[in-house]
Amino acid sequence: MPVTRVPIRELLAAEAPRREIEVAGWVRTRRDSREFSFLEINDGSCLTSLQAVVAFDTEGYAQIKDASTGSAVLLQGELIASPAKGQRFELKASRLTIVGTCPEEYPLQKKRHSDEFLRTIGHLRSRTNKYGAMFRIRSRLSFAVHQFFQSKGFHYIHTPIITGADCEGAGDMFRVTTLQGASGARALGERDFADDFFGQEAHLTVSGQLAVETYCLALSKVYTFGPTFRSENSNTSRHAAEFWMIEPEIAFANLHDDMQLAEDFVRYLLEFVRTDCREDLALFAQFVDPEITARIDGVLNSEFARVQYGEAIDILNSAKQSFEFALAWGSDLQSEHERYLVEQHFHRPVFVYDWPRDIKAFYMRQNDDQKTVAAMDLLVPKIGELIGGSQREERHDRLHTRIEELGFKPTDYWWYLDTRRFGSAPHAGFGLGFERLLMFATGVSNIRDVIPFPRTPKNLDF
């Protein structure tokens, strides 16, 4: 019988002992007794490591000292019922091969390290239980995002990463240029851009929305899921300069349809993580945030609240608690306000909608009151804003006027405006920050620890 390589996840879930198998992975620990060595092997297929017993007469045993913490090994043998507590099976090795040795300087010798330290070894932290679990969850949730939309008939649109448009109009954009030296460094005039790669100013996208809207007005239900880039200089635990955003867009729909879609989506993802990622999630419940299971259950068992911005301001102004930032109608909500609304007042996720026009983006649909737009933010416990969305201004004249009022050039948005001339229809969408979702789902409190290689101000390691 040929020897087959089996992922540890599959072995641990086996129904019965198996013969002639091979396991490949990294040694987490080794304990030596006089006649045996016990190796804990992890191959990343799941959180739990497989215990392997290597006896002194096993082929390759002479190299056992090289099977040190962190080394890469190959083991052949049979899966047998384990006499040890807490595991059904173990591997009785018939052959040990050292694939890659690992000297003592390996920084992951002890079991627990601080997140801060692990960020300094971003190329190795994936080998810890916690980061292995995190990035398996991230992978599974990415899959769940597609599963949710695909099962509802949405089409996945790849929107461009390099763009000539500024979606949010906030100006927090990274420039893309091939101009070298002095001309690239100084503030560039129009003539210089003519010499640049695209012959005009180019940036990394802050959102796929404007592009995906054009496809929404053809395919009705679409979404994009890709990296977005913002150069806002906010060095917080919830902002990254490169993050992933999921942006669905639905045609013939209004703000209330949009909020319903957002609620269904968030519920689906939490339900998914609770059932699909049980083992990895348990690690976060044990070591990171003991409240996480209760918080997820709480969200799943309650309907999300919906409150107009004006009412939210009233609630905050009559709160017994005092806030660092004073509030009046027209001010943006700070994190302390968001958290008060969710954690102290509503005790469940809440949509705040109908926001003041002047603090929101140009494309949002203007309400009849002349003051507000059909925008919504979804606030969740611990995180604050998880989602931002809106019904879009589908009326050509209103949109054109708004672009001019804000001092933007309508010619820069000619194609976007065109979609309002040719068969315009009410439509709405939102953006969910994928890292914020991961923080919410695992209880991890810093965005740097939910993305493989975080990009934040003054930090571009790895």
Interface residue list for ligand 4AD (CB under 6 A): 167-168, 207, 209, 230, 232, 239-240, 243, 245, 247, 385-390, 429-431, 433, 435-436
- Please say which residue, 89 or 149, places its beta carbon nearer to ligand 4AD: 149
Q: How far is the CB of 327 from ligand 4AD (least distance, A)?
A: 19
Over the window 385 to 404, marking each residue x when it contacts Mg ion by CB under 5 A and - when it does not, the resulting string is ---x----------------
- Please say which residue, 73 or 439, places its beta carbon nearer to ligand 4AD: 439
Q: How far is the CB of 49 from ligand 4AD (least distance, A)?
A: 33
d(CA 322, CA 301): 30
Q: Give the Å distances, CA to CA, from 40 to 69, 75, 85, 435.
A: 9, 12, 14, 31
Region near Mg ion per CB under 5 A, out of 248-256, 317-325, 383-391, 401-409: 383-391
- Do strands 155-156 and 221-229 pair parallel, antiparallel, or not at all (unpaired)? parallel
Does the footprint of Mg ion cover residue 431 (CB under 5 A)? no
Identify the three-state secondary structure at position 455: coil
Give the contacts of 32 (CB within 8 A, at least 6 positions apart).
38, 64
- Please say which residue, 133 or 216, places its beta carbon nearer to ligand 4AD: 216
d(CA 245, CA 225): 6
Q: How far is the CB of 271 from ligand 4AD (least distance, A)?
A: 20
Q: How far is the CB of 375 from Mg ion (least distance, A)?
A: 9
d(CA 357, CA 191): 35
Q: How far is the CB of 387 from Mg ion (least distance, A)?
A: 8
Whether the Cβ atoms of residue 301 and residue 347 lie closer than 8 Å to each other: no
- Please say which residue, 98 or 387, places its beta carbon nearer to ligand 4AD: 387
- Binding residues for Mg ion, rule CB under 5 A, total 1
- Please say which residue, 207 or 366, places its beta carbon nearer to ligand 4AD: 207
Q: How far is the CB of 174 from ligand 4AD (least distance, A)?
A: 12
Q: How far is the CB of 433 from ligand 4AD (least distance, A)?
A: 2
Q: Which residue is nearest to Mg ion (CB)?
A: 388
Tell me what percent of the chain is helix, strand and coil, each rounded to the nearest 5. 35, 25, 40
First and final CA of the chain: distance in angstroms?
44
Give the contacts of 368 (CB within 8 A, at least 6 positions apart).
none
Helix axes 292-301, 278-287, angle to 10 degrees: 120
- Please say which residue, 168 or 201, places its beta carbon nearer to ligand 4AD: 168
Residue 426 interacting partner from ligand 4AD, Mg ion, none (CB closer than 5 to 8 Å by kind): none
- Please say which residue, 132 or 388, places its beta carbon nearer to Mg ion: 388
Residue 58 interacting partner from Mg ion, ligand 4AD, none (CB closer than 5 to 8 Å by kind): none
d(CA 356, CA 361): 10
Residue 341 interacting partner from Mg ion, ligand 4AD, none (CB closer than 5 to 8 Å by kind): none
Q: How far is the CB of 225 from Mg ion (least distance, A)?
A: 17
d(CA 289, CA 305): 24
d(CA 294, CA 274): 11
Binding site for Mg ion (CB under 5 A): 388
